[in-house]
Amino acid sequence: MLNWSVVRKLLIVILALVLLAIIIVPGYRIKKQSEIQQVCRSRLEQIAKAQEKCFAQYGRYVSELTEISGDSLNCTCPLNDSLFILNMPDATHYKLFCPNEHGWISEERASWKQE
Ligand SMILES: [Zn+2]
């Protein structure tokens, strides 16, 4: 014999858990995504610092990421380890992009620090 009042209570508990998951999971994903974005931008900033060091020393920016990636610099986006894109119109200007649109940084500014 099936006890319908027990089944009904069980269904209510299951429904409550499903609703809770629907509320919590997207929040967790957003938090995770913003953490990845932060790591990505921090890597871009570290490369920018290395670029400034190079410019102070040689009067030009590095045109290949492999030239500066040696000293503990990570030149990839943490989302999927794809390499950053370095765009250089000449030796005194550069723009470094995240291929996953987390931002860009140049010799003057960073996309996430604009007003
Ligand atoms: Zn990224």
Distance CA 50, CA 62 (A): 9
The confidence score (pLDDT) of residue 108 equals 84
Domain assignment of residue 101, yes or no: yes
Mean pLDDT computed over every residue of the chain: 91
How many structural domains comprise the chain?
1
Ligand 1 center to 16 CA (angstroms): 36
Ligand 1 center to 89 CA (angstroms): 22
Domain assignment of residue 91, yes or no: yes
Domain assignment of residue 5, yes or no: no
Residues 7-16 pLDDT 10s: 999 999 999 9
Q: What is the 3-state secondary structure (H, E, C) of 17-69?
A: HHHHHHHHHHHHHHHHHHHHHHHHHHHHHHHHHHHHHHHHHHCCCCCCHHHCC
Q: What domain range includes position 42? A: 24-113
pLDDT under 70: residue ranges of the chain: 1, 69-71, 115
Ligand 1 center to 88 CA (angstroms): 19
Please work out, in degrees rounded to the nearest 5, the angle formed at the alpha carbon of residue 113 by the alpha carbons of 108 and 115.
105
Domain assignment of residue 17, yes or no: no
Domain assignment of residue 102, yes or no: yes
The confidence score (pLDDT) of residue 42 equals 96
Distance CA 82, CA 100 (A): 8
Whether the pTM exceeds 0.85: the reply is no
Distance CA 85, CA 97 (A): 5
Domain assignment of residue 44, yes or no: yes
Ligand 1 center to 54 CA (angstroms): 23
The confidence score (pLDDT) of residue 17 equals 95
Ligand 1 center to 32 CA (angstroms): 13
The confidence score (pLDDT) of residue 114 equals 74
Domain assignment of residue 7, yes or no: no
Domain assignment of residue 40, yes or no: yes
Distance CA 106, CA 96 (A): 6
